Amino acid sequence: MSNAMDDDVYGASSVANALRTLVYLGGRDTVRVTDVSEHLGVARSTAHRLLSTLRGHGFVEQVPDGRQYRLGPVLLGLAHGRAAVESRRRIGTRELVRIAHPHLERLRDAAAETSNLLQLDGPDAVFLDGVEGPHPLRVAPRTGDRLPAYTTAGGKAQLAELPWETVRMTYAQGLEQLTPTTVRDLAALEQDLAACRGRGYALNIDESVTDVHGIGVGVRDRDGVCVAAVTISAPSTRLGATRAADLAPLLHTTAEAIGAEL
């Protein structure tokens, strides 16, 4: 019968093998079970169980033929997140706002609606800056506010850049409902983010505040890392699907102009 010390040693050995496998995978496009078995010096059955466990948690994935493995969405998401963190350290929030603000003003003038700059912070989107629109009936900027990212156009534009497994783990406890039209579950969110990627922009249709709509596009730095998003917000009476599509090129131009200075 094994004692606690034996169990601990066995567990530590398993963790060590898992870490060695991930490092091994990191230096290769794909590997086979036999490759991992030979690298670790363990039986093929042990290597297969190890890869299956890592696959179950999203750390590795099988290529379409099912015989080879590669790094999975969780690690790719961490790599993306690390790149975004490094970019933020290099640029800084104040510098990002300083660079973006005149572009937000031009976006406001061109669209005649409120413009905003948002950035992901864990599961939330933070409104870093905003420029108020000119109409008597308008959406006020929410600078300093924090909302669940999936309830905002800017948050969804950034979530759409992440591997799905990373998004799924971020909201593993479920989605808070801010309005009756807030996306209700992970399956619906996955479909929504896929639609964002397909059309090139994200939409917020009454999802954070009733009768307020938004459209958002990600901002990428010079390395191609999505570090923020720009949005246009307006009353629902002025921002339907057709106008959102018309405004999308303006948002892309603004996002690209900001990114070129980062």
Q: Give the residue among 244, 187, 192, 174 at the shortest CA–CA distance from 216.
A: 244
Q: Which residues contact 2 (CB under 8 A, 6 or more apart)?
A: 10
CA distance linking residue 253 with residue 97, whole number of Å: 17
Asked if residues 24 and 36 have their Cβ atoms less than 8 Å apart, the reply is yes
Lowest mean pLDDT among 25-34, 77-86, 187-196, 216-225: 77-86
Q: Which residues contact 129 (CB under 8 A, 6 or more apart)?
A: 97, 100, 101, 104, 116, 117, 141, 143
Asked if residues 191 and 218 have their Cβ atoms less than 8 Å apart, the reply is no
Instruction: Copy the structure tokens of residue 203.
Output: 């939409």
CA distance linking residue 189 with residue 241, whole number of Å: 19
Beta-strand ranges (E) seen in the chain are: 31-32, 60-62, 68-71, 114-121, 124-131, 146-148, 202-205, 212-220, 226-235
Asked if residues 217 and 198 have their Cβ atoms less than 8 Å apart, the reply is no
Of residues 43 and 217, more confidently modeled = 217
Bridge pairing between strands 124-131 and 60-62: unpaired
Task: Quote the pLDDT of residue 9.
Answer: 45
- Say if residue 147's pLDDT is above 80: yes
Asked if residues 107 and 117 have their Cβ atoms less than 8 Å apart, the reply is no
Helix, strand, or coil (residue 238)? coil
Mean pLDDT computed over 71-96: 67
Task: Quote the pLDDT of residue 75.
Answer: 66
Q: What is the pLDDT of residues 206-254, one digit of tens each?
A: 999 999 999 999 999 888 889 899 999 999 999 999 999 999 999 999 9
CA distance linking residue 156 with residue 262, whole number of Å: 21
Task: Quote the pLDDT of residue 52.
Answer: 86
DSSP state of 152: S
CB-based burial label for 39 (10 Å; 0-12, 13-18, 19+): middle
